[in-house]
Amino acid sequence: MILPPRGTKDFTPELAILWKEIVSKIESVYQKYGFDPIITPIVEYWDTLKGKYGEEAEKKEIWRFRVPQSKKWYALKYDQTVPLARYFARFRPKLPFKRYTIDRTFRYDEPQKGRYREFWQADADIVGSPYPEADAEILNMMIEAYETLGFNVYLRVSDRRALESLIEKVGEKDKFIEIARIIDKWDKIGEEGVLEKLKQITDKAEKIIELLKENPEEFYPKEFWEIIDLVEKKNKIKIDIKLARGFDYYTGMVYEVWIEGFNRALGGGGRYDNLIGIFSKEKIPAVGGSIGINPLIDVGLEKGIFNLNKKTYTQIAVIYIEVFKEAWRIANKLRDLGLNVYIDLLRRDFKKQMEYVIEKDIRYLVIVGKKDLANNLVTFQDRLTRERKKIPIENLEEIKSLVQ
């Protein structure tokens, strides 16, 4: 009863502060690359999402429902991309349309480490450019975003067209999607598993495996090498033709973000030229990527990249000894100076007030006592450096320069 639904998460202040820092860093990188935010609703009409994610997702993963008040079917956002396509059809923004959305996503998955039923995605997409420079901009930006967050990632990169050439070469072009779906499971089921499954649908299974392991560059189109040429940090890129991510959906370059010692991708994306125009029945090229914030937090905390040390935005605790009203005025004056200030609201003694300060790890104290007040003073204290200083009340602005 007191837990949130299975697969959802409460963020304590420490976690929410970390989350805000992560979001703010991702946003600043997205903005550096010329992306602007849009927000679309959590709730969409089911009709809008229907048929966009494949049968499997529709049956198992989409949160869809009716409410007692209406006969309409609704669904919760399954990703940020179909809502973008709907948005695009509605507003017809000038091209290229470079937008980011950092928002919740809902998938009725089986919850596991780093995987939730309600989770946060930070998506950035470029709508309207068919050119390699758009793909490259996404790759450069994603590498920078993870670096800014302190993650030493590499990007597995490939191109649907390369795998298509490979499959065509062995003469199984017609079975491309089925074969790609099997190859996509390589990480989970391994070479043996892939071979076994391929054998069930083609007698070229061994040849395919052999070619995949060779990872032959010849299959990649010219445009792919133009993308790679524009990537700034080429050492972060691992070209891997076995990456067969979502080829129901992706039409060109695809990538996944990996970190050593974690068995799933932290994010990914690619080019998808058939989705954005779906509501307006046009072909609108698009390329984008998504950062999964929940696995980032879970892995980042586990690996010590993040910590939960920051427990509050409060900078100063005004501690009073008997003189609440004067302390209250001083607290409000400090707030007028733009400082984040706590004052006890429980009429507690000095010791209890300090317990709160220690629990929340508030760095600075302004102690208001009778003796000091008689001389129009307060005592300022830095709990970290242990410095103490008497400050005249008419001179409270001085505190601003003492607080970091």
Q: What is the DSSP string of 217-254?
A: GGGS-HHHHHHHHT-S-GGGEEE-TT--TTTTT--SEE
What lies within 8 Å, CB to CB, of 234 at 6+ separation is 228
Q: Tell which one of 22, 78, 81, 106 touches a copy of itself (CB under 8 A).
A: 106
Tokens of 152: 């030493």
> Among residue numbers 271 through 290, which ones bind a copy of itself (CB under 8 A)?
279-280
Q: Tell which one of 21, 51, 67, 322 touches a copy of itself (CB under 8 A).
A: 67
Q: How far apart are CA 339 and CA 331, in angstroms?
A: 9
Answer yes or no whether residue 131 interacts with a copy of itself by CB under 8 A: yes
The residue (of 65 and 150) whose beta carbon lies closer to a copy of itself is 65
> Among residue numbers 246 through 265, which ones bind a copy of itself (CB under 8 A)?
none
For β-strands 388-392 and 364-368, DSSP reports them as unpaired
Contact between residue 265 and residue 290 where contact means Cβ atoms under 8 Å apart: no
The residue (of 99 and 245) whose beta carbon lies closer to a copy of itself is 99
Q: Tell which one of 165, 215, 274, 340 touches a copy of itself (CB under 8 A).
A: 340
Closest by alpha carbon to 317, among 303, 334, 305?
334
Answer yes or no whether residue 5 interacts with a copy of itself by CB under 8 A: yes
Q: How far apart are CA 203 and CA 354, in angstroms?
A: 75
**To 5 degrees, how large is the angle CA 133–CA 136–CA 141?**
125
User: Applying CB under 8 A, what is the total number of residues that bind a copy of itself?
Assistant: 96
Q: Tell how far CA 301 is from the center of its chain.
A: 15
Q: How far apart are CA 81 and CA 123, in angstroms?
A: 8
> Among residue numbers 201 through 240, which ones bind a copy of itself (CB under 8 A)?
230, 232
Strand partners, 126: 98, 287
Answer yes or no whether residue 38 interacts with a copy of itself by CB under 8 A: yes
Q: Tell which one of 21, 133, 168, 248 touches a copy of itself (CB under 8 A).
A: 133
Give the interface segment with a copy of itself, choosing from 63-71, 188-196, 238-246, 296-304 (CB under 8 A): 63-71
**Least distance to a copy of itself, CB of residue 18, Å:** 10
Give the interface segment with a copy of itself, choosing from 45-53, 150-158, 288-296, 301-309 (CB under 8 A): 45-53
Q: Tell which one of 25, 57, 140, 361 touches a copy of itself (CB under 8 A).
A: 140
Tokens of 133: 């420079």
